[in-house]
Structure 1
Amino acid sequence: MQYHRITSINDPYFASLHALLKRIFPPEEVLAYELWKEPLEDPGIHVYVAVDNGEVVGSTEYRYYPELRVAMTDFTIIGVANKGIGRFLMRSREKDLARLARESGTAPIGMFAEIYNPYERGEHEFGGVTPMNPFVRREVLSHIGYKMINFPYVHPSWEHNGKAVEGLNLCFLPADEELAAIPAALVVQFLEIYYSALPNKPQQWLDMVEGLRGRDQLELLPI
């Protein structure tokens, strides 16, 4: 299996990746095809696909913020079952993030991820691929070590319509698995940087961030 980075919408694998995104995720989670041009050309955004016999069978997107010493996993997609794609993507991402941290001279403290909470809103369909079932994904991410940051979470829609997307938790994979809380200021910094690409923020998101400014530490809970 090949771990291939996509840096242009003209990459021969990008059309397959975007089709996979639309098949797996709800519309509000998927950026329009033409709007991928700038993100893919951003050296700080890492989009990789797992290619098996010339076919895109999975993908992951992530970034590393050396000034915050944190990473963010934007998504991990498994398109075909029983190929070990999830493990392949996770280990390849780990190695690449270690390289990015090493090159920046920093020691990462953890990695953020938005994780669906099917217990809150009911099951999502996710393209009928069993490994992408939100109950399965949530349990796998719990096994990896992700913890839920204890506050009500929404995020701006990637459809650029100014709507708030609910039904997810902001979670954190701490480098120190005994860590019980993280600074609220770190979460605010991260969210403001991460969502700077979406100028049309919903009021619900703005209120959420403002509420975090008045807090000190945010508890990390099991998922």
Structure 2
Amino acid sequence: MEYRRITSIDDPLFKQMHELMGKVFPKEEVLEFSLWADPLQDPGIRVFVAVEDGKVVGATEYRYYADMQVAMTDFTIIGVDGKGIGPFLANQRREDLLKVVADAGRELKGMFAEIYNPYLVEAYGFGGVKSMNPYVRREVLSHLGYRKLDFPYVHPSWEGDGEAVSGLDLCYLSYEPGVESLPAELIVQFLTTYYAILPNKPESWEQMVEGLRGKETVKLLAI
């Protein structure tokens, strides 16, 4: 299995990846094909696919914010069960991410991730891939050390229509021992930076961010 970086929408592997995203994610979570052109060329955005016999069987996207010294896992896709794609992507991602951090001369304090909460919404089909079932993914991420931030979470739809997307938790994996909460200021900085690309923000998202501005810290809870 190969770990291949995607930097252009003209790469045939990107077409496969985008089709895979459309199969496993709800439409509001998938950026339109042509809108990927600029993000893929951003050196700070790392998009990789797992390739087996010329076919994309998994994918992951992540980024590192050197000023905040935190990373974000945008998504992890397992396209086929029973091939060890999850561990392969996780190990390759960590190796690549640590190199990015080292090249920046900084540290990696932790990693954010939006995690589906199947207790809040009906489970999505996720393309029929059992490994992508939200109950399974949530348990796996819990074992990895992710915890949810203690506030009701929504995010702007990636369709760019200004609609709010709910049914997820904003979670965080700390690489620092003993961390039980995060500065609210860090969360606000991360969210406003991460979603700066989307001009239309729902009112509920704006209210959520304003609520965070009024706090000092936010607790990390078990998922």
TM-score (norm 1): 0.99
1:8-23 to 2 correspondence within 5 Å?
A: 8-23=8-23
For the residue of structure 1 that corresponds to 2:196, the secondary structure is: helix
Aligned counterpart, 2:116: 116
1:27-38 to 2 correspondence within 5 Å?
A: 27-38=27-38
- In 1, Cα distance between equivalents of 2:33 and 2:122: 28
Aligned counterpart, 2:140: 140
Q: Structure 1 unaligned runs (5+)? A: none
- Which amino acid in 2 is paired with 1:186? L
For the residue of structure 1 that corresponds to 2:151, the secondary structure is: coil
- In 2, Cα distance between equivalents of 1:130 and 1:179: 32
Aligned counterpart, 2:64: 64
Residue deviations 1:107-138 (CA, integer Å, cap 9, x gap): 11100000000011121111110000000000
- Which amino acid in 2 is paired with 1:213? R
For the residue of structure 2 that corresponds to 1:80, the secondary structure is: coil
Aligned counterpart, 2:91: 91
Provide the identity percentage. Answer: 58
- In 1, Cα distance between equivalents of 2:56 and 2:211: 41
Aligned counterpart, 1:41: 41
- Which amino acid in 1 is paired with 2:187? V
Q: Structure 2 unaligned runs (5+)? A: none
- In 2, Cα distance between equivalents of 1:98 and 1:41: 20
- Which amino acid in 1 is paired with 2:218? L
For the residue of structure 1 that corresponds to 2:119, the secondary structure is: helix
Residues 145 and 177 in structure 1, CA contact (< 8 A), matched pair in contact too = no
Q: How far off its partner does 1:183 sit?
A: 0.4
Over the aligned positions, Cα root-mean-square deviation in angstroms equals 0.6
- Which amino acid in 2 is paired with 1:217? T
- Which amino acid in 1 is paired with 2:95? K
Q: How far off its partner does 1:177 sit?
A: 4.5
Q: How far off its partner does 1:178 sit?
A: 2.7
- In 2, Cα distance between equivalents of 1:21 and 1:203: 27
Q: How far off its partner does 1:181 sit?
A: 0.4
Aligned counterpart, 1:3: 3
- Which amino acid in 1 is paired with 2:210? E
Aligned counterpart, 1:190: 190
- In 2, Cα distance between equivalents of 1:15 and 1:204: 33
- In 1, Cα distance between equivalents of 2:80 and 2:61: 18
Q: Is 1:206 matched up with 2:192?
A: no
Aligned length, in residue pairs: 223
> CA separation of 1:16/1:161 partners in 2, compared to 1, >3 Å: closer, same or farther?
same
Aligned counterpart, 1:129: 129
Q: How far off its partner does 1:103 sit?
A: 0.8
